[in-house]
Structure 1
Amino acid sequence: MSGEPLVTALDTPPGRCVTASTLLSDYWALTKPEVNFLILITTFAGFYLGCANAGRQFSFLALFNTLLGTLLVASGTATLNQYIERKFDAQMRRTARRPAAAGRLEPHAVLAFGIVLSAVGVFYLAVAAGVLASLLALLTLLSYLFLYTPLKRRTPLCVLVGAFPGAMPPLIGWAAASGRLPMEAWLLYAILFLWQFPHFMAIAWMYREDYDRAGYLMLPKGNARIAFVILQTLVPLFALVPISILQFWTGHATISNCTGLLLGLGFLYLGLEFVLQRSRVAARRLLAASIVYLPLLFALRITLH
């Protein structure tokens, strides 16, 4: 018999045989690596700028410890979220193939994996990056799982609630670098907080039928839906334009302010296009713009610091 040897996994449904690579792939998928990529970028930005702001020497070892601990907590949070929502995810086309929702991994195995990742990550941050960074990560995990997650089936305001823990990564990085959170750190927090609304409105509109099918109230019902999407998209985008400039007031004003303004206006333009057209194509364009905008803005902030 050619190919990889088959193993019977203890954490898969009885009678199922899977390859070792498939099993590892499923556990890897539980951590949501595509989301973690952006989390690590924003954590890095907070750490780098926190070092510079505090006048401390940049340490690659400290950065590694911060990113690793944050990655573990973020991965654990994503895993536990999929454990909690596995039955609802199974009703949505975009999430039905996730390991927990599809039943490829037993619920107890997903739960244990998520708890271990989270606990190790929080402890690792406390030891290697500082108590403040660890507490911020723990607060992020708890508020995401026990406030945002249950509210998704109760009120569209869950988007607002979820934006608070969602914007925490740069604060974790800054705290790990300097042990404090000055106004500059909260400015990064504000950018990420506002960024989440147009980013998620694009996703919510693209998959609104899926969310409705699973009973998620990510968007209001009836006529209020369009007004809600317009408000949640445009107000944060308009706020991001001045804030994108504000973060560069400390230096390199001409180049950085112009670039930050262009990024903010480009993001706003695609947001306006989305709310006017409310099409899947426009939503995809806004989603792509959000993924490009955030790393570019943070990279510009780091480069011109």
Structure 2
Amino acid sequence: MNSTVILETKIAMDTLLSDLKQLTKVGLSLSVVFSSVAGYLLAVDVINYTTLLLLALGGFFMVGASNSFNQVIEKDTDALMLRTKNRPLPTGRMSVNFAMFIAVLFTILGLAILYSINPKTALFGAISIFLYTSVYTPLKSVTPLTVFVGAIPGAIPFMLGWVAATNQFGIEAGMLFMIQFFWQFPHFWAIGWLQFEEYKKAGFNMLPMNTKDKSAVKQIIFYTVIMILVSIAPVLKVSGDFYIYPLTAVIVALLGIIMLYYGVKLHKSEQNTDARKLMLASVLYITIVQIIYVVDKFLH
């Protein structure tokens, strides 16, 4: 009897842990932490490991909160899509009240931790949660422009690190914001292309003009070009203390051209396989570019 109870308890705990990971999207949260840490390292000469740890924790809770609120709001539409129907809320494995409790708890923890670094960092954290939850999520079923709104909270983490390190939002933080802001259009539209039929079931408008055609890919290509230009702009020393070597700019541009190549390929083929390659190339791009910037900075 006892061993059965222990086994059942273990299964219940494992399920809860797995559901919490899904609710807060741990993978996505960790990628945001990665961006924040990169932004921090770009801003400092001497690393304060306490601040770095607080930034990572605060950023993690901030994104976890946004994702939890998002899944509470989209519980019914999540049930309609193959990709999301097995999430904890549509399946009923987790109650809405418990999910809301987690969302509020993560908001309070995240903002309190970020505030302990400096008030500006907490302010941007709060803006991120608010825009993602209260503007981006409801607009998904209203207009394709929702991607523009969603790109704002999505671009905050990279600059959040700079603000945490310097306690100011200047040209440098603005530049980091712009890089991640423009990157999100090809990234999200590639996902929007792949999930177009699924999103349609839920009534979401995630592609430009809500059409899966060459005109959508033209937008992807246009924003990829802007992203490349913004990413190499620091070589011109127009962004204060944040600048890169010419060789670094060349490497960054080449990485961007890989994305552009898949964008052009998608324009020709209009096939999901090329959209997937573009999406993967975009994830690779933002990860490697942030590492390259940090390496470049420590070579100065």
Match of 1:246 in 2: 233
List 4+ stretches of structure 1 deviating above 6 A: none
The structure 2 residue matched to 1:280, chosen from 267, 272, 279, is: 272
Q: Following the alignment from structure 1 to structure 2, what is the Cα–Cα distance between the partners of residues 279 and 249? A: 38
1:11 is aligned to none
Distance 1:271 1:4 in 2: 53
1:179 & 1:275 partners in 2: Cα distance? 43
1:58 to 41, 47, 50: 47
Could you tell me how far 1:4 is from its partner in structure 2?
Answer: 5.2
1:78 maps to which residue? 67
Give the unaligned 5+ runs of structure 2: 238-242
User: 5 Å matches for 1:24-39?
Assistant: 24-39=17-32
Tell me whether 1:87 sits opposite 2:80 in the alignment. Answer: no
SS at match of 1:304: helix
CA distance in 2, matches of 1:3, 1:109: 24
Would the aligned equivalents of 1:76 and 1:113 in 2 still touch at CA under 8 Å? yes
SS of the residue corresponding to residue 19 of structure 1 reads helix
Q: Which deviates more, 151-160 or 255-264?
A: 255-264
Instruction: Provide the aligned C-alpha RMSD in A.
Output: 1.9
Which of 12, 21, 24 is the matching residue for 1:19? Answer: 12
SS in 1 for 2:72: helix
Separation in 1, partners of 2:215, 2:5: 52
Q: Which has the higher helix share?
A: 2
Name the CA distance, whole Å, in 2 between partners of 1:228 and 1:164.
23
Q: Tell me the amino acid that sits aligned with residue 84 of structure 2.
A: T
- The alignment's TM-score, normalised by the length of structure 2, stands at 0.91
Q: 2:152 aligns with which of 139, 157, 164?
A: 164
Distance 2:82 2:25 in 1: 17
Q: Deviations over 1:164-195 (max 9, x none)?
A: 11100022111110101221221111110011
Q: TM-score, structure 1 length as denominator?
A: 0.90
Aligned to 1:196: 184
Q: CA deviation at 1:229?
A: 1.6
Query: Map of 1:1-305 to 2, 5 A cutoff?
Result: 5-7=7-9, 19-52=12-45, 57-127=46-116, 129-219=117-207, 224-226=211-213, 228-250=215-237, 253-305=245-297
What secondary structure does 1:180 align onto? coil
Q: Percent identity?
A: 30
Deviations 1:131-169 (A, max 9, x none): 000000000000111111110010111111111111000
Deviation at 1:271, TM superposition (A): 1.3
Contact 1:4/1:19 (8 A) holds in 2: no
Whether contact under 8 Å (2:139, 2:146) holds in the other structure is: yes
Instruction: Please give the alpha-carbon distance, in whole angstroms, between the structure 1 residues aligned to 2:250 and 2:193.
Output: 31
Structure 1 gaps, min length 5 = 9-17
